[in-house]
Chain A
Amino acid sequence: MSASAAHGPAATAARERPPAAFAGPVAWLRRNLFNSWWSSAVTILLGYLLVRFAAGIIDWAFINAIWTLPPTANPLDTAMPCRRLEGAGACWAMVGDKYRFMLFGRFPYDMQWRPAVCVLLFIGLYGVSANRRFWRKELLWIWAATLAVIAVLMWGGVLGMAYVPQDQWGGLPITLILATFGLAFAFPLALVVALGRRSAEMPVVRMLCIGYVELIRGVPLISLLFMASVMFPLFMPEGLNPDKLLRAQIAIILFAAAYLAEVVRAGLQALPKGQYEAADALGLSYWQKTRTIVLPQALRMVIPPLVNTFIGFFKDTSLVLIIGIFDLLTAGKVAMADPVWSGFSTEIYVVLALIYFVFCYAMSSYSRGLEKQFGQSKNR
């Protein structure tokens, strides 16, 4: 704008540079932050608090922080330099000592490259699945192959890798396994339940679907996990118990499916009736109609609530803490309980929050991009 304003005397009044009172950063500040004495006061107060707060955080996290500590003869003395700070600085040395435990739990220490590769594979899998160019049948094969590789890496027992039973898995891979399998299996189930709940011709199926959704939605996830972990074994014959991790996984799938089904149903209901009728008029069968006309449009409409539910479930997996499964949060909490580092739980929580944030923020910014792409046809 300013560049064009410099174009000679022929420029009209409209092309002249506007006075500083109406444009530019100063005007923006005046309009948005200082447009009355009241707003100026609030701006100054909040600005002061922000600077104070930020300065405090920077002091704590960087300037006064202790990054490494040498080992001491009595391990309990290791953290003493941190304790002498009395909270003035962060003790990142603790994270340096504990990060492998937080990320991989009780997985045998010298074999932890295996879960590390699994985490990368999971992230790669998400990346590939997020790319619309790969939305083809082959994607299913990619998933199957990657999950098989992950299973081999986690369990081992072949190719010269030692066998590692599930009870020694832990940390981030567990969180990713619970979330990925949970949503991957819950989503198809949710589609079926949502369609079933909408079906007018099959009242029994509809009642079953309503019953399932309402029953699951009527109880909190915690009680479902408790059922899976505490009550379920009592009903089973002795010694015939599926693994604890598997039981929790199934509980999460059932729970997520009920919520996702309601989100999908919202999309189905929002679809204009004309779309269904047009499909019927074309003579499409029920499944053709659903696959090619109904679901693509319905799912597109519910991307924001779907992602919202996904993000919620990613974080809800941390509830397995209460049944003693070593997910990321549990591993972090156990790391905090180590007396050598007692009193530095904030550092661990900050690291855990960052990890959760990276995953959740990636999901939400991806969904924003997806909405934009899909919305182009409407905005045209």
Chain B
Amino acid sequence: MTRLSLLPAAGLLLLAAAGTAHADGSGSATLDAVRARGQLVCGVEGSTPGFSIPDSQGVYRGLDVDLCKAVAAVTLGDSSKVKYVPLTSTNRFTALQAAEIDVLIRETTWTMGREASLGALFAGINFYDGTGFIVKVALGVKSAKELDGASVCVQPGTSTELAIADYFRQAKLKFTPILIDNYPELQAAFISGRCDVLSNDSSALATFRATQAKPADFMLLPEIISKEPLGPMVRKGDDKWFDIIRWTYFAQLIAEEHGLTSATIDAAMTSQEPEVRRFLGLEGDLGKALGVDAKWAYNAIKQVGNAAEIWDRNMTPLGVPRGINALWNKGGLMYAPPMR
């Protein structure tokens, strides 16, 4: 009962907040800046297949890039109004802190340390990754526990390097790290037999395997030894902007749940399903509460597609199985709160 009686009051408060916000901008400094600029500035990695990489014609493609596009579709109504800023692992956080970028979508692992100390918030997880191992089948190893004394090819200074050091120490196994900074060279070292094992995020290992002349010669070991939840990051202190990023991503998941794709969403405008109608902005005023256009979710799905389409476009060609990145009702971990 109490809750019910509080609802109208909360609604009034929200209305009041929306009213004042309307008087002097949207209430989000970042959103105002994006609108004034007419462009979203998105920090990406810029050279990881599947996440963000320019194709041969110089057009950025990938999972992270598609989230950037969706945010632009939500805030500006046009998914092409994005400026991509390629960032290294060193300058990514300063770029966010110094407001050089509006949002950082650069396959960054959500860790407690980062969230607590960097003045930035993770707005969600758009990819569940983890450190894995790949070996040549000829090595005859079936499990990471048999890797005692192995030489492991790994990029220095990455979370992978820390994870395997921890793993081998805990398992009381010996290993020799072979450290090469450049990933193509690291792969070449593994192929030529300079090390027994190649270690990286399992998505990257799946890609590696899919691009070999004889993929069957290589085997991913079953152990995933670390959790690497990757997601978009925003500055602390701009909650409305945080909401927009988070719900843009949830909209991709919800669209997949309801079977709304970029091809079918126009037909769904006649749908009677309440959540679909709210999603499309036909009912309720969720868009207004978020500070964006009523058709925000429609724009994001129509122009960029839902989570499944984005996956099929970017990850499936690389041979990365969807696994735990599937929806919660299909055996994965992707779960969006209800849209109401």
Contacts and interface: CB of A to CB of B under 8 A. Distances in A.
A97 B56 contact: yes
A32 interface: no
Interface stretch (A106-114, A127-135, A285-293, A358-366): A106-114
B99 A239 contact: yes
Contacts of A168: 58
Given A83-B213, A342-B184, A343-B188, A75 B317 contact: yes
A142 B275 CA distance: 66
Interface in A62-90: 74-76, 79-80, 83-84, 86
A1 to B, nearest CB: 55
Contacts, number: 112
B329 interface: no
Interface stretch (A8-16, A175-183, A227-235, A297-305): A227-235
A165 interface: yes
Interface in A237-281: 238-239, 241, 244
Interface stretch (B12-20, B81-89, B266-274, B294-302): B81-89
B85 A106 contact: no
Interface in A166-190: 167-168, 170
Interface string B154-189: 000000000000000000000000000011110110
Given A106-B54, A334-B54, A343-B211, A322 B49 contact: no
Interface residues of B, number: 44
Contacts of B120: none
| Residue among B53, B86, B207, B212 with max Cβ neighbours from chain A (10 Å) | B86
A345 B185 contact: yes
Nearest to A324: B86
A30 interface: no
A101 interface: yes
B33 interface: yes
A226 interface: yes
Given A101-B56, A337-B47, A337-B183, A342 B99 contact: no
Contact of B318 (A83, A165, A238, A339): A339
A196 interface: no
A167 to B, nearest CB: 6
B184 A334 contact: no
Given A100-B58, A105-B54, 13 more contacts: A79-B211, A98-B56, A106-B60, A109-B57, A168-B58, A170-B58, A233-B95, A234-B97, A324-B88, A337-B49, A339-B207, A340-B211, A345-B184
The 8 A-B pairs with the shortest beta carbon distances in the complex, nearest first, are A83-B213, A233-B98, A106-B58, A109-B57, A339-B49, A337-B47, A324-B86, A345-B184
20 contacts: A74-B317, A76-B210, A80-B213, A101-B54, A101-B56, A101-B57, A101-B58, A106-B54, A106-B58, A109-B57, A167-B83, A167-B85, A226-B91, A231-B94, A323-B91, A334-B53, A337-B49, A338-B55, A339-B50, A339-B207
